[in-house]
Amino acid sequence: MLSKHPDLCKFPHGHTRKVEFILESNELDKNEMVCDFKILQEAMADFLSTLDHALCMNTNDPMYPKLKEAYGDRIIDFPDEDPTTEVMAKLIHDTLKIKLKEYAAKPDAKYPLSPDLKIIRVRLWETSSAWAEYSCD
């Protein structure tokens, strides 16, 4: 729900989104990879599943308290901002950055992770022809 939107997006609606992670490294790891996809899956699966079949809402939306009470953790809080695709791309980017740091710190990590791995950008597809991306230096 985009409470600031002047049209139909202000009402509850859904998207089947796709997330792309664009990563870069100066060297390949010992398995000749930039980053094993299993690391991304392990790092992000739980977080991304919280967004599945959930309603993302600006906490300033007048309906927020009522819907949060009714649906609990299926309402995803976006404090003081609408959950636009751009905002969500940034959230996913920032979460990936934290999760990769946590993975790298695990002494029993199954897959190697290059210390110079960089997140170039996160692209979040809203539809097959509409997407937003977030990158940070």
Would you name the residues annotated as active-site residues?
A: 9, 53, 126
| CA separation for the pair 32, 73 (Å, rounded) | 40
**Alpha-carbon distance 113 to 21, whole Å?**
15
Q: Which residues of 29-57 are buried (b: 16+ CB within 10 A; e: fewer)?
A: beeebebeeebbebbbeeeeeebeeebbb
Helix (H) or strand (E) holding 70: helix 64-71
